Structure 1
Amino acid sequence: MKSSFDIGVLGPLHLRSGDSIPTPTAPKERELLALLLMNSGRVVPISTMIDELWPERPPKTAITALQTYVLNIRRSLSIALGLHGPDVRTELLLTKNKGYVFHTETCDFDLTQYHDLVLAGRRALRDGERNLAVGLLRQAEGLWRGAPLSDVDQGSPLRAEIAGLEQSRSAARALRIQAELHLGHHQFLLAELAELTAEYPFDENLHGSYMEALRRSGRRDKALEVYQRLHRSMAEQIGLEPCQELQILRREIERSLAPAPEYERSVPCGFPASSITVSRYPT
């Protein structure tokens, strides 16, 4: 197996080995290959493949068609990688347990790299190494070239895999942003969070992080504007209010903006409450 075999699903489907590009052009072959890659190392049952390719009314020849698609994919891989057909069937795209499994251990696969970096980032956070965690999680985010498999038709099984991957990305990004806030990178985060809250108008975690970054940057009025925009959008479009944590954050910011009371009460340390003095101006 050539170590230069690159596979990408974090964006348009991408396969390359040197100057060869064995990415299928036939729509259903692309879709089938994408499903196999998203389940790398796991057997995809034939029934799941049929649900993916023919969700409503599978043809009577569905299994034969599947076998033909797999044969064509194997042939393309064999030519691109310079492998004999039997090697592809036993090392890369295997028939197993009434299904197929694609092994990517010997390939440069962006999805595997992404999961490894996120796992390492989480471990670094658990160990209190925030700077290291931020670097690892940023590397993971940098592997994304756009929406996963944006140029591939998607049935329900493939959409479910992509949805889970998007959730993983969102969770990893939230961890990284929180770590950066702990490190005092609030000014650095402002532009990114402005873009993200515009892209994900109902993501409460992102809005909370944006409000916190604005508050720490001394832009408390702007932080309240972010909250009000989210509140208005949620009320109008989904009939909900922001979560309790955001409401608490909003009230904290409002209190910090409230004018100081006209009278200041002070209790000198060690004196009883009856000796409280009231002064119009601080002394």
Structure 2
Amino acid sequence: MTMIPSQGHLGPDGRTAGARDGAPGVRILGPLEVAVGGAAYRPRGPQVRKVLALLAVHPREIVDVATLVEELWDGAPPATAVSTVRTHVYHLRQELERELGPVARDTVVTEGSGYLLDVPAGRLDIEEFTALCGNARAGLRAGRRESALEALDAALGMWRGRPLANVAQGRVLTGHTARIEELRLRAQELRIEAAMGLGQHREVVPELIRLVAVDPLNEWLHARLIDALHRSGRRSDALRAFHHVRSVLAEELGLEPSEDLRRLQHHILAGERAV
């Protein structure tokens, strides 16, 4: 494995992920890593990385050999597929033990017809991320926007790039990556809601511009950008943003703007604040 400096992300309890009680932590919100203490390790072999990645997106659940075969060979496995999977698992365990010690080797457990990643809850960054987002949602429901914003900033700060960025993904992992990316988008939307609820309209404009550039067909994001510009006193910029999204929707999908977007345009043209 390749050793890199630990990111030292904080979990919901304020302690560093992967360093608690000496147990390894696994990070998938970016390049796949196994972390322990003050260091993190990335498996070298592409197939070994796939095996670990598939176990990591099913923590503490048995991943059967058939699923591993499907991911590794994308529907065209060789006759030696099952034995090759066993070999990859063996190399993964050896590598973990060599780099992190016997406790890390024991995180990959053989169970019946498959394998599982036996790590305690909270040692995976995706679990810490979803816990923080859950805390934020509860805070927003209770009207605690400041604490919700803090939790969302911590959650989004855990991301280091695309999920499993150093793993060549097959059909199974691609589906999981899409699900995780959707969780990130929802967290970003919740953060925008919390910040705008606190009156931080000017502050969210740069982030909204970035987000609509990444996801140009997301009408919700466009509406929040238009609203934030309008509430920041940038009426002409807000109208330009409306005309831009109308052109994008027409060219890409042959659609007119949503009712939400048209209502915002009406408020701007009438000189009213959006509600």
TM-score range for the pair, normalised by the shorter chain length: 0.7 to 0.9
**Residue 11 (structure 2) aligns with:** none
Residue 267 (structure 2) pairs with residue 252 (structure 1): yes
Whether contact under 8 Å (1:120, 1:136) holds in the other structure is yes
Greater mean deviation of Cα atoms: 119-128 or 4-13: 4-13
- Alignment-derived partner of residue 212 in structure 1: 227
1:40 counterpart SS class: coil
Asked whether 1:78 is paired with 2:97, we answer yes
Task: Please identify, of 152-161 and 15-24, the stretch whose mean Cα deviation from structure 2 is larger.
Answer: 15-24
Normalising by structure 1, what TM-score? 0.83
- 2:118 maps to 103
Size of the aligned set, in residue pairs, is 253
Task: Please name the residue that 1:185 is paired with.
Answer: 200
Shift of 1:97: 4.0
Residue 153 of structure 2 aligns with which residue? 138
Q: Which segment is superposed worse, 43-52 or 147-156? A: 43-52
- Root-mean-square deviation (Å): 2.1
Residue 50 of structure 1 pairs with residue 69 of structure 2: yes
Residue 15 of structure 1, CA deviation: 2.0
**Code of the aligned partner of 2:256:** E
Superposed displacement of residue 212, structure 1: 0.9
Alpha-carbon shift at residue 4 of structure 1 (Å): 6.0
* Structure 2 unaligned residues grouped into runs of 5+: 1-19
1:5 and 2:24 equivalent? yes
Q: Does 1:37 align with 2:56?
A: yes
Q: Once the 2 structures are TM-superposed, how far is the Cα of residue 69 of structure 1 from its aligned partner?
A: 0.6
Asked if the contact 2:24–2:119 (Cα under 8 Å) also holds between the matched residues in 1, the reply is no
Q: Are residue 62 (structure 1) and residue 81 (structure 2) matched?
A: yes
CA distance, structure 2, for counterparts of residue 48 and residue 230 of structure 1: 42
State the alpha-carbon separation in 2 of the partners of residues 143 and 11 from structure 1: 9
Identity within the alignment, %? 34
Q: Taking structure 1 as reference, are residues 239 and 97 closer, same or farther at Cα in structure 2, changes over 3 Å only?
A: farther
Tell me which structure has the larger Cα radius of gyration. 1
Paired residue type of 2:170? G
1:197 paired with 2:212, answer yes
Equivalent residues of 1:4, 1:107 under 8 A apart? no
Deviation at 1:146, TM superposition (A): 0.9
Name 1:170's counterpart in structure 2.
Answer: 185
Hey, what does 1:227 align to over in structure 2?
Answer: 242
Tell me the residue number matched to 1:267: none
> What is the TM-score when the length of structure 2 is the normalising length?
0.85
User: Residues 209, 5 of structure 1: CA spacing in aligned structure 2 closer, same or farther, 3 A cutoff?
Assistant: same
Residue 270 of structure 2 aligns with an amino acid whose one-letter code is R
